[in-house]
A and B are shown apart, each in its own frame.
Chain A
Amino acid sequence: MSNKLDHSMSLASPEAKGLSIKQKVASAIGLIGFFILILALCNINLPNQGVFLTIALVLITIGTILFANDAYLTKLEGIKNDGVWFTSISSRGVLGWLTGVGLTTFYIVLYFYAELLGLGTNGEANTGLVALFDPLSKLLSGNPASQWFVYGTLYTVAIIAFGYKFILKYRHNRYQQIRTISVMFFQLGFAFLIPEFMARLNSDTFKLPYYDLKNVWPLNYYNFEQYRIDQFINAGNVGLALLIFGIASIFIITPILTYKFGKRWYCSWVCGCGGLAETAGDSFRQLSSKKLSAWKLERWLIHTVLVFAVVMTTAVIYTYLGYDPDKYWLTKGVFLLSVAGFLTLVFAGVMIFKRKELGKDARYGAIGYFTVIALLIGIHIFGYGGEIFFIKAETLRSTYGFAIGSIFSGVIGTGFYPILGNRAWCRFGCPMAAILGFQQRLFSKFRITTNGGQCISCGNCSTYCEMGIDVRSYAQKGENIVRSSCVGCGICSAVCPRGVLKLENDKLDGRINSNEILLGNDVDLMDYVNKK
């Protein structure tokens, strides 16, 4: 008998399978690529930066690809979650915490100490890591790199390399594959290449603002700031078209697509934050909290951020508008009234037509609505000289940018992937997700259908829901899942061992159903109880 027997009967820490030799080699290749970036970061002067950058990015990509090939192609198609909770990185083990700390540090440096990455200040040339990316940046936009270009490039590489891994992991699942190709495409094209090419069009007389076309306000909360509006307007027809597109995205395109497909069309098919979460963040999806208390926190937090975003943006636009309707029709007064009018229309519409579906949440909706209206009135009364409630709109904007734009979405949202799961920002903070979620809950054909009485309450769906939805609590009641936070990633459906869940766009009737007695039992009993 082996002496290695562990009689602790511990379920939490069985010895896990290690990495295969091929996986070790692949990891080494990736790490060498990563090491080149570290060398550059340490200001070690690399000759021929273009070549070294290429080598670094290619090695990282190849390492990930080889790793994924060995991890998934050597096995039959199917769910590949073996050992997830035994592996250090994916179960908040030492590696998980180290990665979390590393990523968080990176984000803090990126947002607040970019010069440490080698960003040239006061017109000086870049050094270090940023300089390593100069050749690529010059190739694309003609300009030297910034810390954002470095970040954007690494971000894109991560989505593509880990997207490949994800596609292999789900090679039996076409929904997952197509969705992943979509986020890879939007990241590479819309978020990375197109804005760089747009920058190429700029000259002394013509300047477009940096614009990732798939980013919709309030995710790009800065879209309607004065400098951008000026740039849009000064750039003639092209600029105007972009501005109109930005506004249409919010009021026309988004509601229509969300009505037809649910918020997933954006959150897990297009969005860059979602793209990273679904690819590089996939190993952390099981870490989201499924507690009821987390859900309560989520609802307060995300809607508070939304209110903040609306008020902040309104205040910022308000400050640069004029008083005189003869100069320009959109004056401060007209603008405030139209914002208030629009919100009132939405609020009244929901209260009249959707009161029943809202249930107890109507109260919270009303609180949110009246808070915003009160703040708008406050802006009107106290807002002069660029100040709102004696706080400069600019202060409001920079506070939002710092607290939400940098800390919440970047440092916590991505830095804490290995601790809070891959969608902490999307779930607790993203104001865009809040708006789309509101539409999805009340005005959408999307739902996750539960297959009659087939649920065995195993918990795979809930465990692997990155948004922390307790999917099982609906499935075991035979109830469809219609939750504002659901990003439609489809993993619950994929991991379900009994084929219980299906993402669907279908009629609005019977979308929200609740059953006390599940299909399969006596029909008379079902009728008796469910219709009571």
Chain B
Amino acid sequence: MEHIVIIGNGISGITAARHIRKMSNKRITIISAETDYFFSRTALMYVYMGHMKFEHTQPYENWFWKKNKIELKKGFVSKINHQANELVFTNKEVMNYDKLIIAVGSKPNKFGWPGQDLNGVLGMYHKQDLEKLENYAPNNTVCNRAVIVGGGLIGIELAEMLRSRDIPVTFLVRENSFWNGVLPAGESAMINRHIQNHHIDLRLGVNLKEIIADDNGRAKAIVIQETGEIIDCNVVGLTAGVSPNVTFLKDSGIELGRGVKVNRFLETNIPDIYAIGDCAEQHEAIGNRRPIEAVWYTGRMMGETVAQTICGNKTEYKPGHWFNSAKFLDIEYQTYGWVFGKPKEYEQQFHWIHADDTKCITVSYHKRTKKFLGINTFGIRMRHEVFDRWLTEQRDVDYVMQHLSEANFDPEFYAPYESEILNAYKKMEFQTS
């Protein structure tokens, strides 16, 4: 029986395993050093916040794996000998495979800041990071202040986590507005205000210079590059993005860039070795996507795809229309299609913001053809299916604006905003024409 080994028990690896099991009787082993069972990484924050216990983040009950004949192996792979089709673990144990899927995910970025490896300095990615945070910041008497470095999705989640225990937070953001590499200016500005409304000390346009240690080798303060200001703190969160967790593959013969280089079939340069999820790097970016997509959904899609290939139906990774979502403290965000933070030269954007400053949308369309390109929505839920269809049908922006209510996904009895949005859109049309 063919033995499929998957390194990594995140969403990519688990999805691949589940689909391979559905289609075949192959022997499947999943290796992880992080946890015994699959859990939702995106839900770690809720464990610290007390919304859930860790076991609630596990989408399958523990009996699921045995019942579906998916073997789970706890261990850390230190080496891959692809000539011999074998893996070597840190404890020198050896495991053979027929086909190997690398789904090892990411690790938090560190940019060589002085003090970045001190005690009390952590990322927020692995379950072990959560345990460290629980240790260093159980409450606001042990942790009088935390400084978060890096204004992205993980940074704002870490801020929300700490605030749930009333721990004062200083949030250092390199850009001059939160996540404005991705979000258009109006949206980014609204989130800035929302962050401040949550009593988070938001510092825009600043960089970390260094982290200062106390006598016990623990972080006690940080220094800001631009101003030289010293901020006392007990915990430093490094959340300046993530990068593929591929150091252990350095001399394996598997081609690496920033991540594991793969072709459209998610194959590496070595036969029978595949890479999926956060750690996979496309030779060439697909459409407007980045070569490395560290997103839950794309990890899942790669898992769905590679399972087909492994089970004999060779399938290209051909993702559909881009979509994503996040939650910024109390404000939900969804995006369908492409809306760029810095509009492309062909791109026109229509922005609407509600008077309460917690809801806004940005619709992107082609300047000349008026083709609808994408939408960002904050505080209003919208239907994935409808926007996916409109993007496929290449609807123009007028059609989308007229039919916006069809896409509404807010709970029943919520106030509708479509007519207000449409009026604002018409007004803009009138002024620009």
Contacts from A to B (Cβ < 8 Å): 1-2, 4-7, 9-12, 14-17, 76-79, 81-87, 172-175, 178, 291-292, 449, 451-454, 456-460, 462-463, 472-473, 476, 490, 493-495, 497-499, 502-504, 516-526, 528-529
> Beyond A87-B50, A291-B61, A520-B323: 18 further Cβ-contacts under 8 Å?
A12-B53, A76-B198, A76-B330, A77-B358, A79-B51, A175-B414, A178-B413, A453-B323, A456-B40, A456-B43, A459-B56, A462-B56, A490-B411, A520-B388, A521-B301, A522-B316, A526-B320, A528-B313
Inter-chain contact B308/A82, CB cutoff 8 Å: no
Query: Which B residues are CB-close (under 8 A) to A9?
Result: 131, 134-135
A5-B142, A78-B330 as given contacts; A494 in contact with B411, CB under 8 Å: yes
Inter-chain contact B22/A516, CB cutoff 8 Å: yes
Inter-chain contact B130/A77, CB cutoff 8 Å: no
A82-B164, A456-B42 as given contacts; A525 in contact with B304, CB under 8 Å: yes
Instruction: Tell me the nearest residue of chain A to B64, going by C-beta.
Output: A292
Inter-chain contact A457/B40, CB cutoff 8 Å: yes
For residue A178, give the distance in angstroms from its CB to the closest CB of chain B.
Answer: 6
B425 part of interface (Cβ distance < 8 Å): no
- In the assembled complex, the Cα of A523 lies from the Cα of B316 at a distance in Å of 12
Query: Which B residues are CB-close (under 8 A) to A86?
Result: 50
A458-B43, A497-B332 as given contacts; A519 in contact with B320, CB under 8 Å: yes
Query: Which A residues are CB-close (under 8 A) to B95?
Result: none
Instruction: Tell me the nearest residue of chain A to B165, going by C-beta.
Output: A17
Query: Which B residues are CB-close (under 8 A) to A11?
Result: 47, 53-54, 130-131, 134
A456-B43, A460-B43 as given contacts; A525 in contact with B411, CB under 8 Å: no
- In the assembled complex, the Cα of A141 lies from the Cα of B323 at a distance in Å of 61
- In the assembled complex, the Cα of A492 lies from the Cα of B358 at a distance in Å of 21
A174-B411, A522-B316 as given contacts; A82 in contact with B49, CB under 8 Å: yes
Residues of chain B from 293 to 346 with CB closer than 8 A to chain A in the complex: 296-297, 300-301, 304-305, 308, 313, 315-321, 323, 325-327, 329-330, 332, 334
A175-B413, A463-B51 as given contacts; A521 in contact with B305, CB under 8 Å: yes
B141 part of interface (Cβ distance < 8 Å): yes
Inter-chain contact B49/A458, CB cutoff 8 Å: no
- In the assembled complex, the Cα of A458 lies from the Cα of B326 at a distance in Å of 12
For residue A491, give the distance in angstroms from its CB to the closest CB of chain B.
Answer: 10
Query: Which A residues are CB-close (under 8 A) to B47?
Result: 11
Question: B198-224: contact bitstring with A at CB < 8 Å (1 yes, 0 no)?
Answer: 100000000000000010101000000
Query: Which B residues are CB-close (under 8 A) to A291?
Result: 61
- In the assembled complex, the Cα of A76 lies from the Cα of B411 at a distance in Å of 19
Inter-chain contact A499/B59, CB cutoff 8 Å: no
Inter-chain contact B330/A82, CB cutoff 8 Å: no
Q: Contacting A2 at CB < 8 Å: which of B53, B142, B297, B384?
A: B142
Query: Which B residues are CB-close (under 8 A) to A178?
Result: 413
Inter-chain contact B49/A83, CB cutoff 8 Å: yes
- In the assembled complex, the Cα of A15 lies from the Cα of B143 at a distance in Å of 12
B57 part of interface (Cβ distance < 8 Å): yes
Most buried by A among B51, B164, B410: B51
Most buried by B among A516, A519, A525: A525
Q: Contacting A520 at CB < 8 Å: which of B54, B330, B382, B384?
A: B384
Contacts from B to A (Cβ < 8 Å): 11, 19, 22, 40, 42-43, 46-54, 56-59, 61, 130-131, 134-136, 138-139, 141-142, 164-166, 197-198, 214, 216, 218, 296-297, 300-301, 304-305, 308, 313, 315-321, 323, 325-327, 329-330, 332, 334, 358, 381-385, 388, 392, 409-415
- In the assembled complex, the Cα of A452 lies from the Cα of B385 at a distance in Å of 6
- In the assembled complex, the Cα of A81 lies from the Cα of B56 at a distance in Å of 14
* Cβ contacts A to B, 8 pairs, < 8 Å: A4-B142, A14-B139, A82-B49, A85-B52, A456-B297, A497-B332, A519-B384, A521-B319
- In the assembled complex, the Cα of A112 lies from the Cα of B58 at a distance in Å of 43
A76-B330, A77-B330 as given contacts; A519 in contact with B381, CB under 8 Å: no
Most buried by B among A83, A86, A451, A503: A451
Inter-chain contact B50/A452, CB cutoff 8 Å: no
Query: Which A residues are CB-close (under 8 A) to B50?
Result: 14, 16, 81-87
Query: Which A residues are CB-close (under 8 A) to B296?
Result: 456
A1-B214, A82-B49, A173-B411 as given contacts; A14 in contact with B56, CB under 8 Å: no
Inter-chain contact A525/B52, CB cutoff 8 Å: no
A1-B216, A173-B411, A454-B334 as given contacts; A463 in contact with B381, CB under 8 Å: no
Query: Which A residues are CB-close (under 8 A) to B308?
Result: 525, 529
A10-B134, A174-B411, A175-B413 as given contacts; A458 in contact with B323, CB under 8 Å: no
Query: Which B residues are CB-close (under 8 A) to A83?
Result: 49-50, 164-165
Query: Which B residues are CB-close (under 8 A) to A76?
Result: 197-198, 329-330
For residue B14, give the distance in angstroms from its CB to the closest CB of chain A.
Answer: 9
Inter-chain contact A518/B334, CB cutoff 8 Å: no
For residue B345, give the distance in angstroms from its CB to the closest CB of chain A.
Answer: 28
A11-B47, A521-B305 as given contacts; A459 in contact with B334, CB under 8 Å: no
Inter-chain contact B139/A15, CB cutoff 8 Å: yes
Inter-chain contact A174/B334, CB cutoff 8 Å: no
Query: Which B residues are CB-close (under 8 A) to A517?
Result: 304
Query: Which B residues are CB-close (under 8 A) to A529?
Result: 304, 308
Query: Which A residues are CB-close (under 8 A) to B412?
Result: 174-175, 490, 502-504
- In the assembled complex, the Cα of A82 lies from the Cα of B165 at a distance in Å of 8
Instruction: Tell me the nearest residue of chain B to A86, going by C-beta.
Output: B50
Query: Which A residues are CB-close (under 8 A) to B327?
Result: 497-498
A5-B135, A520-B297 as given contacts; A503 in contact with B142, CB under 8 Å: no
Query: Which A residues are CB-close (under 8 A) to B414?
Result: 173-175
Instruction: Tell me the nearest residue of chain B to A15, going by C-beta.
Output: B139
Most buried by A among B164, B300, B388: B300
Q: Contacting A499 at CB < 8 Å: which of B325, B329, B358, B388?
A: B325
- In the assembled complex, the Cα of A2 lies from the Cα of B140 at a distance in Å of 12
A520-B320, A522-B316, A524-B318 as given contacts; A458 in contact with B42, CB under 8 Å: yes
Query: Which A residues are CB-close (under 8 A) to B49?
Result: 81-83
- In the assembled complex, the Cα of A83 lies from the Cα of B163 at a distance in Å of 12
Query: Which B residues are CB-close (under 8 A) to A175?
Result: 411-414
Q: Contacting B334 at CB < 8 Å: which of A10, A77, A85, A498?
A: A498
Most buried by B among A83, A86, A459, A526: A459
- In the assembled complex, the Cα of A101 lies from the Cα of B382 at a distance in Å of 45
Most buried by B among A5, A456, A528: A456
- In the assembled complex, the Cα of A522 lies from the Cα of B301 at a distance in Å of 9
Query: Which A residues are CB-close (under 8 A) to B56?
Result: 459, 462-463
- In the assembled complex, the Cα of A2 lies from the Cα of B358 at a distance in Å of 39
Instruction: Tell me the nearest residue of chain A to B412, going by C-beta.
Output: A175
Query: Which A residues are CB-close (under 8 A) to B326?
Result: 498
A454-B384, A458-B42, A522-B319 as given contacts; A493 in contact with B330, CB under 8 Å: no
For residue B220, give the distance in angstroms from its CB to the closest CB of chain A.
Answer: 9
Q: Contacting A452 at CB < 8 Å: which of B11, B59, B318, B388?
A: B388
For residue B146, give the distance in angstroms from its CB to the closest CB of chain A.
Answer: 15
Inter-chain contact A459/B130, CB cutoff 8 Å: no
For residue A414, give the distance in angstroms from its CB to the closest CB of chain B.
Answer: 25
- In the assembled complex, the Cα of A356 lies from the Cα of B106 at a distance in Å of 45
Query: Which B residues are CB-close (under 8 A) to A457?
Result: 11, 40, 42-43, 59
Query: Which A residues are CB-close (under 8 A) to B316?
Result: 522
Inter-chain contact B319/A520, CB cutoff 8 Å: yes
Instruction: Tell me the nearest residue of chain B to A87, going by C-beta.
Output: B50
Inter-chain contact A85/B53, CB cutoff 8 Å: yes
Query: Which B residues are CB-close (under 8 A) to A519?
Result: 320, 384-385, 388
Instruction: Tell me the nearest residue of chain A to B58, going by C-beta.
Output: A459
Inter-chain contact B318/A522, CB cutoff 8 Å: yes
